Structure 1
Amino acid sequence: MAGFFDRFRKPEPEPVRAELDQAGYEEVLDLIRADHKVPAVKRIRELTGLGLVQAKDLADAIEEGRWAPFPAPGQSLADRVRALLSQDRATDAVRMVAQETGMTEDEASRFIDGLDQP
């Protein structure tokens, strides 16, 4: 009898196929910066398998600087900041430091100014 009721249950949501990696994050961030939010959401869905609402929420979080992919193992915060600075992305560096440390943007900016540059 249990099999009879199984067909009335809602199907389980599909699991996420993959995490958004650094390359996908950069691609989505470029689309968002170019004011192409809908294609950014579509690309997130293609890369991760997320639903529409979850992909839009992730795009919003990326746009607001509240989400970034996990750093590669062995990469310190200072190394990642230096990498962003070498790409002339100081604003992203400040946001990343503030997000990961809980600092204010002013404190994060002072932290970045105190780093030795290569």
Structure 2
Amino acid sequence: MEYEVMELVRAGRKIEAVKLVRERTGLGLKEALDAVEAIAAGGRMPDIKRQRAASIGDARAEIMALKARGQAIPAIKLIRQVTGLGLKEAKDLYEAL
């Protein structure tokens, strides 16, 4: 996928590169944009799963407390804030916790 992203960026089609990353990975917009920029700078695709796990780990207790109180919206907002996930992905993660 990194090769395809580089080709799109070189062709001046950065938006399409971001869309490709989002479709293939399920990343939110900001995470996908960050990944495209990292690849365009000559780097590799960031290890998003590891970054998410670390981010969630730091906020897990607060997210679980919100969930226990039935406060889904604040919990999902917090998940989005710490992970950069899109709304659907954050909701799915909330439900999986």
TM-score normalized by structure 1? 0.42
Q: 1:10: how far off?
A: 5.1
Q: 1:24 aligned to 55, 59, 67, which one?
A: 59
1:7-63 Cα offsets, whole Å, 9 max, x none, are 572523325453211x4111101001111000000000111111111100010011x
CA distance in 2, matches of 1:8, 1:24: 31
User: Once superposed, what is the RMSD of the aligned Cα atoms?
Assistant: 2.3
Query: Which residue identity is paired with 1:9?
Result: E
Q: Which runs of 4+ in 1 moved over 6 A?
A: none
In proportion to residue count, which structure has more helix?
Answer: 2
Aligned pairs, how many?
59
The answer to whether 1:46 aligns with 2:81 is: yes
Query: Which residue identity is paired with 2:82?
Result: L
Query: Which residue identity is paired with 2:79?
Result: I
Partner of 1:81: none
Partner of 2:6: none
Tell me: CA distance 1:35–1:10, structure 2 relative to 1, closer, same or farther (3 Å).
same
TM-score normalized by structure 2? 0.50
The answer to whether 1:9 aligns with 2:43 is: no
Q: Report the 3-state secondary structure (helix = DSSP H, G, I; strand = E; otherwise coil) of the residue aligned with 1:9.
A: helix
Partner of 1:94: none
The answer to whether 1:58 aligns with 2:93 is: yes
Gaps of 5+ in 1: 63-118
Identity %: 29
Q: Report the 3-state secondary structure (helix = DSSP H, G, I; strand = E; otherwise coil) of the residue aligned with 2:16.
A: coil
Gaps of 5+ in 2: 1-9, 23-31, 36-47
